[in-house]
Amino acid sequence: MIQGQMAGKVAASALRDRDAGKGRLSEYHELVRSTLAKAPFFYFSARKDFGSFENWFREVEEATKGLTASECSLPFRSFS
């Protein structure tokens, strides 16, 4: 949804200025890279690490099989 908002912002600006050129459309890419790409997890990292978002969801599903919601919300403990 966040990326949709970013895309809408760039699209509205492009329409307003009647400019849908390659440079203008790259604004979306730069906006995503300068914000979401700094997050510890986002679409591009999931695709790079797991091949696709679907594969990531399957890995999460398998890794959390049998856990309850309360177990998933426990604070992270280091095992070092």
Same domain (yes/no): 34, 14:
yes
Band of residue 70 on the pLDDT scale cut at 50, 70, 90? low
Contacts of 20 (CB under 8 A, 6+ apart): 14
Same domain (yes/no): 28, 8:
yes
pLDDT at 30: 86
Closest C-alpha among 79, 7, 69, 80 to residue 43: 7
- Tens-digit pLDDT profile for residues 1-25: 777 888 888 889 889 999 888 888 8
- Tens-digit pLDDT profile for residues 16-66: 999 888 888 888 888 878 876 666 666 677 778 888 878 877 887 887 777
pTM of this structure: 0.47
Residue 79 domain-assigned? no
Residue 46 domain-assigned? yes
CA distance 45 to 37: 8
pLDDT at 59: 82
Contacts of 3 (CB under 8 A, 6+ apart): 32, 36, 43
**Residues of the domain holding 19:** 1-39
The total number of structural domains in the chain stands at: 2
pLDDT at 31: 83
Same domain (yes/no): 49, 30:
no
Same domain (yes/no): 63, 30:
no
